Chain A
Amino acid sequence: MTLSGRTIIPLFFFVAASYFLYRVNEVLLPFLLAAVLAYLFNPLVRFFEVRGLRRRPVVVLLYASVMTVITLASYKLAWVAAVEAEEAAHNMPAYVQKGGEAFTRLRGSLKSDWTHDDGRPFETLAHRLFANLALFDYVAEHGKTWPAEVLSRMPSFALGILPVLEIAFLVPFIGFFLIQEGPRLRDHVLGWVPSRYVEMVLGLMVEVDNSLGKYVRGLSLECLCVGCIALAGFWVIGLDYAVQIAVVVGLANVVPYVGPVMGILLGGGVALFQWGSALGVLKVLLVCGAVRFIEDWFIQPTVMRSSVHLHPAIIVFSLMSGAKLFGFWGLLFAVPIACMVKVLLDVLWPWYRAQYGLAGPAPLPEVSRIPLI
């Protein structure tokens, strides 16, 4: 294979465009989120489009409906949050006292066991290690002031989420145009492709679109299911702030394996302050374990059935690479990008092998020896 001008020029533009996108990666975030939004909306728009309705009025009507629901939900949520904050401020001293007592009890029991030796080496070692650990002393001493500190930092936290609000306005705006364009965008892109590569690029677009669409919609449904199951579990054990913790669990589940971990951390913390005993934390652990079990054995096989399958090691590697390169957002988009790379390889490699004669055509199926009748 020789490199001619016809190959080098597009290659140069591709490399330049990739470098440019890498340099402006921070600006890409709203566009990526808008694409996610478009994938979520697409089946709804498609439902009306296949019945002969124009895309634009359908998108406008759907957007108006969804925005109305979101506005009403935000209003309701803000009201609930205000009530909960007032309740939290009222309950805080009792919570802090209970938490403090729990820590003091735990520390006391461990210190009283310092001389504990029942001949079982591991248990003895654990007791001695934890009894000496300064962490318990530190938590017992400073832990009482943490809730107040968190509340005092709320204004600066609110300022910190301003960029998030900016994205919250930008994403629906860009998403609107992406959804409205829909298949026309694909046809436009295909119009620029040299005719010889149309089938190959069309193949790439179809496969990537299929796998990303399935992944985004499947993941959203999975997060919703996980959030609902966690909520049911927290309600059953009577945990305070069950709705808020379940929402965080559902949202955190966007990053594989993180949802239930967040549930354990937040729910465990609340349980410790609420009940002041390790039993409460154990209940939360059981709920989160059950959530993880149901997710692994029932939700994922159903919801992500036709999505791209990645080996767990590849998922962990892509998450670590994403986090290393782009921080939190890298963590968020690592798996869909890994799916995309897998699809690209699945489509491009056989095409490349066939096109440049590295592999012969697939063998013809065995033809029956029965004559034509």
Chain B
Amino acid sequence: MLHWIRNFVLDPEFNRKRKFLQRISLFQGISRREFGHLFQALVIRSYAPGEILFHEGDVGRALFILESGRVEISRETAGGAIAQLAILNPGDYFGEMSLLDERPRSATAAAMDPVRVHLLYKTELEKLVRHVPHIGAAIMTHLGMLLAARLRSITDSVPVSLASTVKLKGVL
């Protein structure tokens, strides 16, 4: 009887989503009890194989978290050819720069399989920052760490003599 009531009242989808999102680095530091607020901010969307999630140059405003399927990230080269940059697997997330600025996407994302993603829209993140600051701060900290890591990796790859002559402003 207790088991039946538990199944009737508690949402099994809630636990499944929590287990999935807990694995993602962006949401590390968010407690089990707080995940409910995060679910409210996420929107689920499915894509068919070959469907474009966003095009290079489109103005982006959302972060994509890949739950199932694979996504190809590609970019058009100066010669007009398509260069594959990465293949993303379940648990990866992309488009995070749009949560910070609303600039055009720097690459195209296309579904390789039937894909299911969670979208976190910029305004929803802002709402989290205002109303559940602990979650907002955790996400922003991870975004900051991710950007710092990328910046360091680019800086390390540029020779010191070149870095001093090349205007880094606006490039990184």
Q: Dominant SS at the B interface?
A: mixed
Residues of A within 8 A of B103 (CB): 361-362
Whether, in the assembled complex, A108 has its beta carbon less than 8 Å from a beta carbon of chain B, the answer is no
Give chain B nearest CB distance to A176 CB in angstroms: 18
CA distance A57 to B53 in the complex (A): 35
Q: Flag A185-212 by CB within 8 Å of B: 1 or 0 each.
A: 0110011000110111011001100100
Which A residue sits closest to B95, measured CB to CB? A199
Asked whether B101 lies within 8 Å of A362 as measured between CB atoms, the reply is: yes
Given the known interface contacts A46-B40, A50-B36, A54-B11, the answer about A198 and B172 at a Cβ–Cβ threshold of 8 Å is no
B58 at the binding interface (Cβ < 8 Å):
yes
Interchain CB contact under 8 A, B53 and A367: no
Is A165 engaged at the interface, CB distance under 8 Å to the other chain?
A: no
Chain A, 315-373, CB within 8 A of any chain B CB: 351, 354-355, 361-362, 364, 366-367, 369, 372
Residues of A within 8 A of B43 (CB): 183, 186-187, 190, 202
Residues from chain B with a CB closer than 8 A to the CB of A202 are: 43, 61-62, 119, 121
Give A217 Cβ to nearest chain B Cβ, in Å.
14
Q: Is B59 an interface residue (CB 8 A)?
A: yes
A52 touching B10, Cβ below 8 Å: yes
Complex contact B61–A195 (CB within 8 A)? no
| A296 interfacial contact with B, CB 8 Å | no
Enumerate A19-45 residues with CB–CB distance to B below 8 Å: none
A187 and B44 contacting across the interface, CB-CB below 8 Å: yes
CA A206 to CA B123, docked complex, whole Å: 7
Report if A198-B102 is in contact (Cβ < 8 Å); known contacts: A50-B40, A51-B36, A206-B123. Answer: no
* Size of interface on A: residues with Cβ below 8 Å to B: 34
Indicate which residue in B40, B58, B59 contacts A183 across the interface (CB closer than 8 Å). B40
B51 CB-CB contact with A under 8 Å = yes
A53 CB-CB contact with B under 8 Å = yes
Question: What is the interface size of chain B, counting residues whose CB is below 8 A from a CB of the partner?
Answer: 43
How many Å from the CB of B107 to the closest CB on chain A? Answer: 15
Are A372 and B123 in contact (CB-based, < 8 A)? no
Asked whether A355 lies within 8 Å of B59 as measured between CB atoms, the reply is yes
Which of B33, B124, B170 is close to A367, meaning CB atoms less than 8 Å apart?
A: B170
Residues of chain B lying within 8 A (CB to CB) of residue A141: none
A190 near B123: Cβ-Cβ < 8 Å: no
Interface positions of B from 66 to 108, Cβ below 8 Å from A? 101-104
Q: Is the CB of A196 within 8 A of B55?
A: yes
Q: Confirm or deny: A49 has a beta carbon within 8 angstroms of a beta carbon on chain B.
A: yes
By a CB distance below 8 angstroms, the chain B residues around A366 are 169
| Residue of B with least CB distance to A52 | B14
Docked-complex contact A362 and B102, CB < 8 angstroms: yes
User: Among residues 114 to 169 in chain B, which have CB atoms less than 8 Å away from a CB atom of chain A?
Assistant: 119, 121-124, 127, 151-152, 155, 168-169
Alpha-carbon gap, A195 to B151, bound state (A): 31
CA distance A183 to B53 in the complex (A): 21
A52 & B101 in contact (Cβ 8 Å cutoff): no
Expressed in whole angstroms, the Cα–Cα distance for A54 and B12 within the complex equals 8
For residue B49, give the distance in angstroms from its CB to the closest CB of chain A: 12
A356 to B70: give the CA distance in the assembly, Å. Answer: 30
In the complex, what distance in Å separates the CA atom of A46 from the CA atom of B127? 15
Docked pose: A51 CA to B14 CA in angstroms: 9
Asked if A206 and B124 make an inter-chain contact with CB atoms under 8 angstroms apart, the answer reads yes
Contacts of B27 in A (CB 8 A): none
Q: Which residues of B contact A186 (CB under 8 A)?
A: 43
Quote the shortest CB–CB distance from A73 to chain B (angstroms): 28
Q: Quick check: is B4 within 8 A (CB to CB) of the other chain? A: no
Extra contacts besides A54-B9, A196-B54, A203-B123 (12): CB < 8 Å: A49-B11, A50-B37, A195-B51, A195-B52, A199-B61, A202-B43, A203-B122, A206-B121, A206-B123, A361-B59, A362-B102, A364-B170
State the 8 A-B residue pairs at the shortest beta-carbon distance, nearest first: A50-B36, A354-B59, A52-B14, A367-B169, A54-B11, A361-B103, A206-B123, A199-B62
Interface residues of B (CB under 8 A from A): 8-11, 14-15, 33, 36-37, 39-40, 43-47, 51-55, 58-62, 101-104, 119, 121-124, 127, 151-152, 155, 168-170, 172
Residues of A within 8 A of B (CB): 46, 49-55, 57, 183, 186-187, 190-191, 195-196, 198-200, 202-203, 206-207, 210, 351, 354-355, 361-362, 364, 366-367, 369, 372
Instruction: Please name 22 pairs of A and B residues whose Cβ atoms are closer than 8 Å in the assembled complex, sorted by A.
Output: A49-B36, A50-B37, A51-B33, A52-B11, A52-B14, A54-B11, A57-B8, A186-B43, A187-B44, A187-B45, A198-B45, A198-B119, A202-B62, A202-B119, A203-B122, A206-B123, A355-B58, A362-B102, A362-B103, A364-B101, A367-B169, A367-B170
